[in-house]
Amino acid sequence: DAAMYQAKRAGKNCWRVYRPELDESAHMLTQLGWNEKIQAALDEDRLVLHFQGIHAVDTRSICHYEALVRMVDPEGNLLLPGNFIPAAERTGRIVDIDRWVIRAAIRKLAEQPALPPIAINVSARSFDDPDLSRTIRSTLEEFAVTPARLMIELTETAALANIRDSESFIRDLRQLGCTVCLDDFGVGFSSFAYLKHLSANVLKIDGMFVRNLANSHEDQVFVRAIVEVARGLGKKTVAEFVGDAATLALVAELGVDYAQGYFLSFPIAEIS
C-alpha cells in the first residue's frame, strides 16, 4: 500500500518497491517520536552542554569555547546532536532547544566570570524570529553578563537561505556587542558574493576543506582564498576539524587565525 502511494506521488504510471526509508507514515512516526523525546528532555532537564576549545593557531592557547548540545536519554546515554537536531529542525522544536542553549550558556558565563567567551550555535529556524535578539539581550541583562563574552554561530547555508533576516539578526547582535561567526563557511555555493551583506566578525571554514587539507591541493587553494577574502574584509578565520599536527601546521602556514579539532581538544562537560 505504501509502495502504491509512493508510485502515485512519483507521477503515476510507474512502479515502486516498498522501501521503509521512503515510507512517510513510518517517517512521520519516528519524527513524532523525536518530538516527544525532545519535549521530555526539555521538561525533565535532560539537555546538557559540552564545550570544545577554539585555539589560537600560533600559541595553541584557548581563546574561546564552542558550546555543543547533547541529550541524555532516559537510560543515561549521551545522544549527539546529529541524532536529534535534524528532527528538531523539521518539527520546529529546535527553537526551544536553541532558547535552552542560550540560557544555559549565559548562566554558565555568569557562574564562572573568569571563563573566556562561549560561542553558541543558533539554527535558521530560530533567527527568523525577530524576538530572538531581544531574548538574548534580556537574558544577558538578567544574568549581568557582558555581551562581548557571548558569540553566536550561524551556519552559512542558513544565513544565505534567508539573507534579509540574517542581515538584521547579525546587525542586532553586533550592536548589542556580541561576536558573530558564520559556521561551516564555504559550503554555500555563492559564499563570497553574499559576504558583502553579512557583517559577521568571524568565518569558520567548513571541516570539509580542512579534514584532508594536508593531502589535497584543491582544499589548500580554497582555504588560502577564504583567508585572503576574510583578511581583506577585516574578519578572523577559524579552521574546524583540525585532526592532526600536519593539518595544524598547514592551517598556520595558510594564515588561519584559530583552530578547533580533536588534535587540539575534545568537547568536554566541565571547563574552568
Min dist CB 147 to ligand C2E, Å, is: 19
Min dist CB 59 to Mg ion, Å, is: 22
Listed in sequence order, the DSSP H helices in 81-180 are 81-91, 94-111, 124-127, 132-142, 156-161, 163-176
Q: Which is nearer to ligand C2E, 145 or 181 (CB)?
A: 181
Residues 116-145 that bind Mg ion (CB under 5 A): 121
Residues 193-232 that bind Mg ion (CB under 5 A): none
Residue 262 binds: one of Mg ion, ligand C2E, none (C-beta under 5 to 8 A by kind): ligand C2E
Backbone angles phi, psi at 119, to 5 degrees: -100, 135
Residue 53 binds: one of Mg ion, ligand C2E, none (C-beta under 5 to 8 A by kind): none
Min dist CB 240 to ligand C2E, Å, is: 6
Residue 81 binds: one of Mg ion, ligand C2E, none (C-beta under 5 to 8 A by kind): ligand C2E
Is the separation of the CB atoms in 38 and 93 below 8 Å? yes
Residue 260 binds: one of ligand C2E, Mg ion, none (C-beta under 5 to 8 A by kind): ligand C2E
Tell which residue, 204, 197, 189, has the closest CA to residue 166. 197
At residue 172, what is the residue type?
D
Min dist CB 255 to ligand C2E, Å, is: 20
Q: Which whole-number Å values give the CA distances from 246 to 31, 110, 186, 251, in the listed order?
A: 41, 37, 22, 9
Tell which residue, 154, 153, 132, 158, has the closest CA to residue 66. 153
Selected binder of Mg ion within 183, 186, 209, 250 (CB under 5 A): 183
Min dist CB 82 to ligand C2E, Å, is: 5
Selected binder of Mg ion within 98, 156, 172, 184 (CB under 5 A): 184
Distance CA 70, CA 154 (A): 18
Q: Which whole-number Å values give the CA distances from 214 to 58, 209, 210, 218, 245, in the listed order?
A: 18, 10, 8, 10, 10
Q: Which is nearer to ligand C2E, 151 or 230 (CB)?
A: 151
